[in-house]
Amino acid sequence: MDETREYRYFSVEELPRPKGRKTNQYYIKNTRSGDCLGEIAWYAPWRQFCFFPVVFTKTIWSPDCLRDIEDAIKWAEQHRKEADGA
Protein backbone atom coordinates (compact mmCIF):
# COMPACT_ATOMS: atom_id res chain seq x y z
CA MET A 1 0.00 0.00 0.00
CA ASP A 2 2.14 2.89 -1.27
CA GLU A 3 0.60 6.18 -0.21
CA THR A 4 1.60 9.82 -0.43
CA ARG A 5 0.78 12.68 1.91
CA GLU A 6 1.22 16.27 0.74
CA TYR A 7 2.30 19.21 2.87
CA ARG A 8 3.07 22.80 1.92
CA TYR A 9 6.80 22.36 1.31
CA PHE A 10 7.30 18.60 1.13
CA SER A 11 5.56 15.34 0.42
CA VAL A 12 5.81 12.05 2.27
CA GLU A 13 5.89 8.90 0.17
CA GLU A 14 5.49 5.45 1.65
CA LEU A 15 8.24 3.19 0.32
CA PRO A 16 7.70 -0.49 -0.50
CA ARG A 17 8.54 -2.57 2.55
CA PRO A 18 11.72 -4.61 2.03
CA LYS A 19 11.48 -8.32 2.72
CA GLY A 20 12.06 -9.08 6.38
CA ARG A 21 11.36 -5.52 7.56
CA LYS A 22 8.51 -5.16 10.08
CA THR A 23 7.77 -1.46 9.54
CA ASN A 24 7.47 0.86 6.56
CA GLN A 25 9.80 3.70 5.67
CA TYR A 26 8.68 7.06 4.34
CA TYR A 27 10.61 9.30 1.95
CA ILE A 28 10.47 13.08 2.56
CA LYS A 29 10.72 14.99 -0.74
CA ASN A 30 10.90 18.74 -1.39
CA THR A 31 7.83 19.71 -3.44
CA ARG A 32 9.70 22.29 -5.54
CA SER A 33 13.00 20.59 -6.33
CA GLY A 34 12.13 16.94 -5.73
CA ASP A 35 15.25 16.62 -3.56
CA CYS A 36 15.28 14.10 -0.74
CA LEU A 37 15.13 15.87 2.62
CA GLY A 38 15.23 12.72 4.70
CA GLU A 39 13.08 9.82 5.75
CA ILE A 40 10.80 8.68 8.51
CA ALA A 41 11.66 5.21 9.73
CA TRP A 42 11.38 3.03 12.82
CA TYR A 43 14.21 3.62 15.30
CA ALA A 44 14.40 0.43 17.35
CA PRO A 45 16.43 1.80 20.32
CA TRP A 46 13.66 4.34 21.01
CA ARG A 47 10.85 2.03 19.82
CA GLN A 48 9.23 4.74 17.71
CA PHE A 49 9.26 6.37 14.28
CA CYS A 50 11.79 9.19 13.90
CA PHE A 51 12.81 11.67 11.23
CA PHE A 52 16.26 11.10 9.73
CA PRO A 53 17.38 14.21 7.80
CA VAL A 54 19.75 13.74 4.87
CA VAL A 55 23.24 14.48 6.16
CA PHE A 56 24.77 15.87 2.98
CA THR A 57 22.01 18.44 2.34
CA LYS A 58 21.79 21.62 4.37
CA THR A 59 18.14 22.22 5.22
CA ILE A 60 16.32 24.88 7.20
CA TRP A 61 13.20 23.96 9.16
CA SER A 62 10.60 26.48 10.35
CA PRO A 63 8.24 25.68 13.24
CA ASP A 64 5.48 25.01 10.68
CA CYS A 65 7.67 22.53 8.79
CA LEU A 66 8.60 20.78 12.02
CA ARG A 67 4.91 20.49 12.94
CA ASP A 68 4.29 18.94 9.53
CA ILE A 69 7.11 16.43 10.16
CA GLU A 70 5.48 15.62 13.50
CA ASP A 71 2.16 15.09 11.73
CA ALA A 72 3.85 12.83 9.17
CA ILE A 73 5.37 10.75 11.98
CA LYS A 74 1.92 10.38 13.54
CA TRP A 75 0.62 9.30 10.11
CA ALA A 76 3.37 6.64 9.94
CA GLU A 77 2.45 5.45 13.44
CA GLN A 78 -1.20 5.15 12.41
CA HIS A 79 -0.21 3.04 9.38
CA ARG A 80 1.76 0.75 11.68
CA LYS A 81 -1.20 0.31 14.01
CA GLU A 82 -3.53 -0.42 11.10
CA ALA A 83 -1.08 -3.00 9.70
CA ASP A 84 -0.90 -4.67 13.11
CA GLY A 85 -4.69 -4.83 13.25
CA ALA A 86 -5.05 -2.50 16.22
Q: Domains of the chain: which residue ranges?
A: 4-83
- pLDDT: is 86 or 55 the higher one? 55
Does the pLDDT of residue 1 top 70, yes or no? no
Which residues, 6+ apart, have CB-to-CB distance to 7 below 8 Å?
A: 31, 65, 68, 71, 72
Q: Largest Cα–Cα distance of the chain, in whole Å?
A: 38
Report the alpha-carbon distance of residue 66 to residue 51 in Å, rounded: 10
pLDDT tens per residue, range 24-74: 899 999 999 999 999 999 999 999 999 999 877 678 889 999 999 999 999
Q: Rounded to two decimals, what is the model's pTM?
A: 0.85
Contact between 43 and 49 under an 8 Å Cβ cutoff? The reply is yes
Quickly count helices (H) and strands (E) in the chain: 1, 5
